[in-house]
Structure 1
Amino acid sequence: MPDFSYEEPKFKTGRNYPLHLLLFVATLCTTTWAGAIWTGVPPATESLAGFAASLRTGLPFSLSLLAFLTVHEFGHFFATVKHRIQATLPYYIPLPPLPFLMSIGTFGAVIRIKEPIRSRRALFDIGVAGPLAGFAVALGLLVYGFLHLPPADSIYAIHPEYRAMGGIPPAPPETLRLGKNLLFILLEKIIAPKGLPPMYELYHYPFLFAGWLGCFVTALNLLPVGQLDGGHVIYAMFGGVGHRKISKLFLAFITILGAPSFIAAILQLIDPAIVIPAPELLIRVSWPGWIIWAFILRRFLGTKHPQAGSDRPLSKRRMIAGWVCIAIFVLTFTPVPFAII
């Protein structure tokens, strides 16, 4: 997503191509490393050849994820070029996989807008371009992943113990399960792929995992709050008053969505002996992370969008694009994205 904060530069400089390239290469390395770990073949350290061979297994994930991030950010960038607004190329943010952190190898990417956006049309175009472009890649990754699933018994290479159990067992305790969004459910019904893994094994399948992450990131960017991409779209479509009302309603919604599991987690920290009613049902309908997101969004982004140009309504074509973005948000929003079962 772009950073819309603005500081008047003392002087203009050329693009720092070496820095952008270095960050891209570093992020390629860290996402490849993370991809190998998530796929189930962590890089071996016994020999350089073994390390390189196992690292290659992470390339499908890293290239897929970087394709999504790159297309998303360049969607924003080319929109700034169209409106002749000075902006940087994408800054990729590498994150090495750490033992204590479930890292995907990156914190994402960002472009920086170097001058104020004085047109509501320009604000809309820049805000909408990234999610639309990135969603196309995420959708393509999911479709490709569904259509090119490996043989069902390939999971035994990662979990040889499953063969002795006669197949993939119910989720073991303390297992990470990814949640389904509407798009995932629809594609699952339409394509009806054979050998589709359960959601607690999905991260072993790089194209599906990268496509799922692309949807998750798209939905986060399209949250209709503050100066997120979704906030810009809502502001441009419905004006400042409409933006503020929708932002407040959505913050209330995710607060309600996250409250049950958040309260349960706090009670368990206070006294582990406290019995939580229907814990399995609770983790399937509520994610405590939404409470943290609601706090961050309210505290740092707020519910008021700064004035950007006149209040002249958008054209019919742009309004249609805005409603398409709203539909994409509905399709990609995951009420419970992560759960430990």
Structure 2
Amino acid sequence: MNFPPNSRLAILREQNIPLHLGLFAATLLTTTAAGVFWAGGTLAFNGTLALINSLQSGISYALSLILFLSVHEFGHFFAALHHRIRTTLPYFIPLPPLPMLLGIGTMGAVIRIRERIKDTDALFDIGTAGPLSGFAICLGLLIYGFLNLPPADFIFTIHPEYIAAGGPPATPPEGTLQLGKNLLWLLLENTLPTRNLPPMTEMYHYPLLFTGWLGCFVTALNLLPVGQLDGGHITYAMFGTKGHRRAGHITLTLITLLALPSLLELAASLTTLVPVGALPATFLKLSWPGWILWVFILMKFIGTSHPPTMNDHPINTGRTIIGWMSILVFLLTFTPVPFSIT
């Protein structure tokens, strides 16, 4: 049966369903394996049944992370489908949990828009649908995770060496991974009646908290008002070319400044040009060198400009309100120092 070009049924008919399902299944497997690692377990390769049993501890992590990624990308997809813009279903990107990387089991998921965006309304709707729907999942995961924490002795199943001290050490040993807090985390931490909340050096052993945190981190990265990121789409639709360019320049400057103290400290450790310890510890605590890598990716690969739609026009009041809600979500989920090593 032939459907009119760009009809919703025609867009659905052109999807490569086997490819999308295959990538989804592979990502489910790699994220489950990553979940086993974060839960403190190991994969057993001495038989099929043993392997299946060893994967069980990673299922909560995998399903919650896949849920976030799916809702985020299908938000984009359904918004594009609503505007009859040819786009693909989400491509999930599996990544085996490698020890030398932050092995979360995936590089995320993406959709591919196959034609130029028709107008500003479509651009705005596609840009906001992903991060706002994904944020709803993050919020739900975090609230449920905060309110349903396991008993305090759960951490002993992963770190039996903590039993003698009665819990995680007040000063973690060198080389310990520590995750940073965003405004949303601080808000939930100080308003919800939580018990046994783990320190940020142990939080990644709690799958719902960890995936909620990861979802917030990914949401904030996507909402950076630069180039053709989701945040770039939103600022272009709300403020036009000049506003988009100004927001991008300010953002790149700020995250470069966030990286600078750590980079100077690194230079001090490698050369004698800057004395080691010359920078105040407070500056270093508010700095993450990874931001400079993100600046490089934005400038060299993603780009900092935004192409016009086929029909640029001001958005209405309702969309403007949603745009400001998206900016609020960015402020709540942005983590100045997402990762640090003690």
TM-score (norm 1): 0.93
Equivalent residue number for residue 117 of structure 1:
117
Query: Could you tell me which amino acid in structure 2 is paired with residue 111 of structure 1?
Result: I
**Corresponding position: 1:26 with 2:26:** yes
**1:1-341 superposed matches below 5 A:** 14-169=14-169, 170-270=171-271, 275-277=276-278, 281-341=282-342
Matched-pair contact (CA < 8 Å) for 1:237–1:319: yes
- CA drift of 1:282 comes to 4.2
Matched-pair contact (CA < 8 Å) for 1:97–1:104: yes
User: 1:197–1:218: structure 2 CA closer, same or farther, 3 Å change rule?
Assistant: same
Cα RMSD of the aligned pairs, angstroms, is 1.8
SS of residue in 1 equivalent to 2:86: coil
User: 1:283–1:52: structure 2 CA closer, same or farther, 3 Å change rule?
Assistant: farther
Q: 2:272 & 2:213 partners in 1: Cα distance?
A: 35
Q: 1:302 & 1:22 partners in 2: Cα distance?
A: 30
Taking only the aligned residue pairs, the percentage that are identical comes to 58
Matched-pair contact (CA < 8 Å) for 2:119–2:313: no
Q: 2:238 & 2:144 partners in 1: Cα distance?
A: 33
- CA drift of 1:141 comes to 0.4
SS of residue in 2 equivalent to 1:152: coil
SS of residue in 2 equivalent to 1:93: strand
User: 1:113–1:176: structure 2 CA closer, same or farther, 3 Å change rule?
Assistant: same
Q: Which deviations, in whole Å up to 9, do the C-alpha atoms of 1:173-209 show, x marking residues without a partner?
A: 1100000000000001111311000001011000000
Equivalent residue number for residue 9 of structure 1:
none
- CA drift of 1:165 comes to 1.8
- CA drift of 1:332 comes to 0.1
Number of positions where the alignment pairs a residue of Structure 1 with one of Structure 2: 330
Matched-pair contact (CA < 8 Å) for 2:23–2:92: yes
Query: Could you tell me which amino acid in structure 2 is paired with residue 254 of structure 1?
Result: I
Q: 1:311 & 1:40 partners in 2: Cα distance?
A: 51
TM-score (norm 2): 0.92
Q: Which deviations, in whole Å up to 9, do the C-alpha atoms of 1:49-93 show, x marking residues without a partner?
A: 333222110000000000000000000000011000011100000
Matched-pair contact (CA < 8 Å) for 2:73–2:111: yes
Segments of 5+ residues of structure 2 without an aligned counterpart are 1-11
SS of residue in 1 equivalent to 2:111: strand
